[in-house]
């Protein structure tokens, strides 16, 4: 057999035995260790798939997560592990965090949404010393001119205006309610009592100031602001401090159906009652004593202290032994006709009645207090330290009085739609609105 034929047999036998042949593969075949067309080499990813240990663009490696994304089995940021359960430190539905109110509720002493914070005016507007700077720049000057003129003509005007101002703020909150109330009771059975407690001279001073302002700037300045300003003008005019005052009060839309004296301290109150009355309105004992210093310009009708000089402790002819005997004898003479003429009155400060000073407190130390509450203010351990302070230090009295009356002038103030600017101080523009 020729060599070429033998070589052909050997090659053919190798093919039958499954051996690979040298050279390029036939069509549809592949070399050893190489994939067929369309298959991936061992250890290599399919097209579009990552290599082992790598990831596709924008995808995390196994067991890891993209930035800001949770791992498999973990909660997304800001989401609870168990549906319906709060995050750590967060309350369950319907509950609140410690110290935080539930929806629609408020913390103790804090207002609900839409309500006014304590000490803020009802109505939303803010009070300001410059409130009338653009709308009525001469308002303060006009009021000052009117009430100063009235004081010069009648020295009791200052005492009356201060009393009227205190009544107004304590009854309903510095909104000129007392001016309408006085008019409403004019023809009632209580008219005598009202007219005595709210002096006509003081009322007339406010009315005159309002008329002058209506000519200057109609329906701009409220009666409540006029009363607050008149009180400061007369306190300063008689020697007292010039304390800060803000404007923007509105006049009330209603008034109390009871007498203005209802919420005022009464001459027969105990010191416990007086202190509680002030504390209920947010004033401290010291502020109460400082405001009582306003009695240095005040007066009282004989019926308010008659028991001390005529029938102390219910015994006819008995006199309060704590009252200075010279004062008690003088008052007995001055008030002997008080049952026939209830207008008879005496100044609370018998030493300097027309001057705003600290003499009211000095008088208490000397037994010269007019009312029973004056004597109790001296003898009560809660109030006596402040009486002694103000009697010996007029500067301390002026400073504390200024702060206290500024606070009083903002008590219960109404602004915005909660009130109106009356055209007349003794009546509402359109009649009282229902409460």
Catalytic site residues?
Answer: 167
Report in angstroms the alpha-carbon separations of 31 from 35, 67, 157, 366: 8, 45, 124, 128
Q: Which residues of 21-34 are buried (b: 16+ CB within 10 A; e: fewer)?
A: eeeeeeeeeeeeee
Return d(Cα 409, Cα 424) in angstroms, integer. Answer: 21
Tokens describing residue 77: 């940021």
The one-character DSSP state at 432 is P
Contact 360, 386 (CB under 8 A): no
| Partners of residue 251 on adjacent β-strands | 420
Strands 299-301 and 345-347: antiparallel
Which helix (H) or strand (E) is 347 found in, with range? strand 345-347
Angle, nearest 10°, between helix axes 177-184 and 157-171? 100
Q: Closest Cα partner for 88 from 77, 99, 80?
A: 80
Cα torsion 191, 197, 199, 203: sign: negative
DSSP state of 230: H
């Amino acid at each position: 057999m020729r060599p070429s034929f033998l070589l052909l047999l050997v090659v053919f036998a190798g093919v039958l035995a499954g051996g690979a042949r040298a050279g390029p593969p036939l069509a549809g075949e592949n070399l050893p260790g190489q994939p067929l067309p369309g298959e991936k080499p061992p250890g290599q990813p399919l097209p579009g798939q990552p290599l082992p240990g790598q990831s596709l663009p924008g995808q995390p490696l196994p067991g890891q997560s993209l930035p800001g994304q949770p791992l498999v089995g973990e909660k997304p940021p800001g989401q609870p592990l168990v549906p319906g359960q709060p995050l750590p430190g967060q309350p369950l539905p319907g509950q609140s965090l410690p110290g935080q109110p539930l929806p629609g509720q408020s913390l103790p002493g804090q207002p609900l949404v839409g309500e006014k914070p304590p000490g803020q005016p009802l109505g939303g507007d803010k009070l300001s010393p410059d409130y009338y700077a653009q709308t009525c720049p001469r308002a303060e000057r006009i009021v000052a001119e009117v009430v100063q003129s009235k004081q010069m003509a009648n020295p009791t005007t200052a005492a009356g205006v201060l009393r009227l101002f205190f009544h107004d703020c304590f009854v309903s909150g510095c909104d000129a309610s007392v001016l309408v109330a006085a008019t409403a009771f004019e023809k009632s059975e209580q008219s005598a009592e009202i007219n005595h407690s709210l002096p006509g001279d003081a009322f007339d001073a406010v009315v005159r100031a309002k008329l002058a302002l209506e000519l200057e700037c109609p329906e701009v300045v409220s009666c409540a602001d006029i009363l607050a300003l008149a009180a400061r003008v007369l306190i300063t005019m008689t020697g007292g401090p010039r304390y800060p005052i803000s404007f923007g009060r509105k006049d009330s839309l209603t008034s109390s159906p009871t007498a203005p004296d209802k919420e005022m301290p009464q001459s027969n109150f105990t010191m416990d009652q007086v202190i509680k009355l002030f504390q209920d309105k947010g004033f401290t004992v010291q502020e109460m004593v400082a405001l009582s210093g306003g009695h240095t310009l005040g007066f009282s009708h004989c019926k308010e202290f008659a028991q001390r000089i005529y029938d102390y402790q219910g015994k006819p002819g008995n006199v309060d032994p704590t009252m200075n005997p010279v004062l008690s004898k003088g008052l007995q003479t001055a008030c002997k006709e008080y049952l026939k003429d209830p207008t008879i009155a005496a100044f609370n400060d018998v030493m300097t009645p027309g001057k705003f000073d600290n003499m009211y407190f000095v008088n208490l130390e000397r037994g010269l207090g007019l009312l029973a509450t004056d004597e109790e203010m001296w003898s009560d351990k809660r109030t006596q330290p402040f009486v002694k302070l103000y009697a010996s230090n007029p500067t301390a009295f002026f400073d504390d009085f200024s702060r206290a009356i500024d606070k009083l002038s903002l008590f219960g103030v109404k602004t915005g739609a909660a009130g109106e600017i009356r055209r007349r101080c003794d009546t509402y523009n359109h009649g009282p609105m229902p409460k």
